[in-house]
């Protein structure tokens, strides 16, 4: 398993309790967060079977989705749905994953 695959799955595991809490407070934000995190993982897997510009395109989508995860977590904190300590581990992994993906895009693109 690649680093990006591992990080994307680690992120999903960290998001499970966050999404569960958000479902009670703001279901639409929970759904968007869940879809974005799932999309990161699926696009990372898809990129593994692609080559050239197509691979870079799929990785760019994964970068965007990782940024969306970070934004959703930040919004959840700003609205007071969850506290900073609860959000911090997922934010850290999302940030690292986004950085690794961005580095791959720069290297391959």
Convert the pLDDT of each residue in 34-50 to its tens digit. Answer: 999 999 999 999 999 98
- Joined tokens for residue 65: 């989705």
| DSSP-assigned states of every residue in 17-50 | HHHHHHHHH-HHHHHHHHHHHHHHHHHHHHHTT-
Nearest-angstrom CA–CA distance, 18 and 52: 36
Convert the pLDDT of each residue in 47-88 to its tens digit. Answer: 999 899 999 999 999 999 999 999 999 999 999 999 999 999
Other CB atoms within 10 Å distance of the CB of residue 96: 15
Read off the DSSP letter of residue 79.
T
Cβ–Cβ under 8 Å, residues 62 and 40: yes
Q: Which pLDDT belongs to residue 36?
A: 98
Q: Which pLDDT belongs to residue 109?
A: 82
Domain ranges of the chain: 3-108
Protein fold of 3-108: de novo design (two linked rop proteins) (1.20.1440)
């Amino acid at each position: 398993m690649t680093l990006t695959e591992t990080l994307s799955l680690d992120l999903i595991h960290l998001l499970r309790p966050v999404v569960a809490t958000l479902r009670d407070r703001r279901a639409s934000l929970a759904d968007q967060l869940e879809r974005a995190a799932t999309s990161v993982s699926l696009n990372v897997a898809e990129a593994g079977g692609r080559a050239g510009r197509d691979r870079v395109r799929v990785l760019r989508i994964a970068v965007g989705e990782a940024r969306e995860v970070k934004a959703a977590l930040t919004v959840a904190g700003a609205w007071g749905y969850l506290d900073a300590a609860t959000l911090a581990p997922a934010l850290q992994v999302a940030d690292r994953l986004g950085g690794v993906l961005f580095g791959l895009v720069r290297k391959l693109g």
